[in-house]
């Protein structure tokens, strides 16, 4: 079992729709969870981080964390073509300061 | 621009040659990470430093790879006797010492081994 798992996609949504991206992790003691966006050929850039169970909203983005089920999700409302990118989930497992990334989900927002 | 600088941005080398990459983190960031990313994959952890101490190294990292952060500022990653499988984007990230903080990534060094 991989430490952080994501569906590689592509996930295609029409412009203006809600995009839902999911991530599961294996280490139950993980404390910190991050969503990064990566455009082709570029380095990852942080969208959101979340530490506590529940929802965290920032503009069009909402991160959801469920530690009991060991998943974290990212919702993108009113999706725009400029949101088309790969979205990486990263987790900080317990007992270490390293960040483990999933393989990323490729999102395509169709105009 | 995140403030993390990597050099060079691109490197093409022949198989068997040694290469060295440099990362200059954000100045007040104590923790520095190296990751490797291949096409279609997420960044893969290689190693990290807190100040000048190398605290963790991936088991996937062969003996051909070595990293240093001599004065707790910039870091270098050296790959000896490069192989075609080393072709990847090498990413550096820095973080302040407090936990639960985002990693700021540099633009990466793209290595092509021919």
CA distances from A85 to A75, A76, B13, B34 (A): 14, 12, 29, 22
Is residue A77's pLDDT more than 80? yes
Residue A37 with chain B: CB contacts under 8 Å: none
Distance from C-alpha of B16 to C-alpha of B49, rounded to nearest angstrom: 27
pLDDT at residue B2, as a whole number: 78
* Residue of A98, A100, A106 to mutate, interface with B, max B Cβ within 10 Å: A98
Mean pLDDT of B36-42: 94
Name every residue whose Cβ is closer than 8 Å to that of residue A27 and which is 6 or more positions away in sequence. A3, A91, A93, A94
Give pLDDT, residue B62.
81
**A-chain residues within 8 Å CB-CB of B43?**
44, 88, 101
Which residues have a Cβ under 8 Å from the Cβ of B1 and sit 6 or more positions away?
none
Portion 3-42 of A in contact with B at CB < 8 A: 4, 6, 8, 31-32, 34, 42
Based on its alpha-carbon atoms, the radius of gyration of chain A, rounded to whole angstroms, reads 13
Residue-level length of chain B: 114
pLDDT digits (tens, 9 = 90+) for B56-71: 999 877 889 999 999 8
Mean pLDDT of chain A: 94
Instruction: Collect all residues of chain B within an 8 Å Cβ-Cβ radius of residue A104.
Output: 41-42
Rounded percentage of chain B residues whose pLDDT exceeds 70 = 97
Query: What is residue B21's predicted lDDT score, i.e. its pLDDT?
Result: 98
Beta strands, E only, B38-108: 44-50, 53-57, 65-68, 75-79, 88-95, 104-105
Q: Is the pLDDT of residue A52 over 90?
A: no
pLDDT in the model for residue B28: 82
Q: What is the pLDDT of residues B83-113, one digit of tens each?
A: 999 999 999 999 887 656 788 999 999 999 9
Chain A residues within 8 A of B55 when measuring between CB atoms: 97
The predicted structure's pLDDT at residue A69: 94
Specify the higher pLDDT residue, B76 or A94.
B76
Neighbours of B57 (CB within 10 A): 15
Can you give the pLDDT at residue B100?
A: 60
B13-32 tens-digit pLDDT:
999 999 999 999 988 888 99
b/e per residue, A94-107, with b = 16+ CB within 10 A? eeeebbbbbbbbbb
B114 at interface of A, judged by CB pairs closer than 8 A: no
CA–CA separation, B101 and A109 (whole Å): 29
Mean pLDDT over each residue of chain B, to the nearest integer: 92
Strands B109-113 and B10-13: parallel
Q: Peptide bond before B8: cis, by omega within 30 degrees of 0?
A: yes
Mutate to test the interface with A, among B26, B34, B43, B50 (most CBs of A within 10 A): B43
At B99 the pLDDT is 59
């Amino acid at each position: 079992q991989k430490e952080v798992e994501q569906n590689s996609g592509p996930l295609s949504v029409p412009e203006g729709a809600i995009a839902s991206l999911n991530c599961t992790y294996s280490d139950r003691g993980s404390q910190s969870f991050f969503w990064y966006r990566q455009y082709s050929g570029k380095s990852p850039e942080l969208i959101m981080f979340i530490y506590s169970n529940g929802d965290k909203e920032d503009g069009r983005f909402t991160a959801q964390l469920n530690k009991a089920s060991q998943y974290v999700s990212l919702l993108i409302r009113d999706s725009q073509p400029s949101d088309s990118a790969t979205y990486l989930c990263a987790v900080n497992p317990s007992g270490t300061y390293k960040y483990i990334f999933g393989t990323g989900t490729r999102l395509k927002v169709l105009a | 621009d995140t403030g993390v600088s990597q050099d060079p941005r691109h490197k093409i080398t022949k198989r068997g040659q040694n290469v060295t990459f440099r990362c200059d983190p954000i100045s007040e960031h104590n923790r520095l990470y190296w990751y490797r990313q291949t096409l279609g994959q997420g960044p893969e952890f290689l190693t990290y430093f807190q100040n000048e101490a190398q605290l963790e190294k991936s088991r996937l990292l062969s003996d051909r790879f070595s990293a240093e952060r001599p004065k707790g500022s910039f870091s270098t990653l050296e790959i000896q006797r490069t192989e075609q499988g080393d072709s990847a984007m090498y990413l550096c990230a820095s973080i302040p010492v407090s936990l639960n903080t985002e990693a700021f990534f540099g633009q990466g060094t793209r290595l092509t081994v021919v």
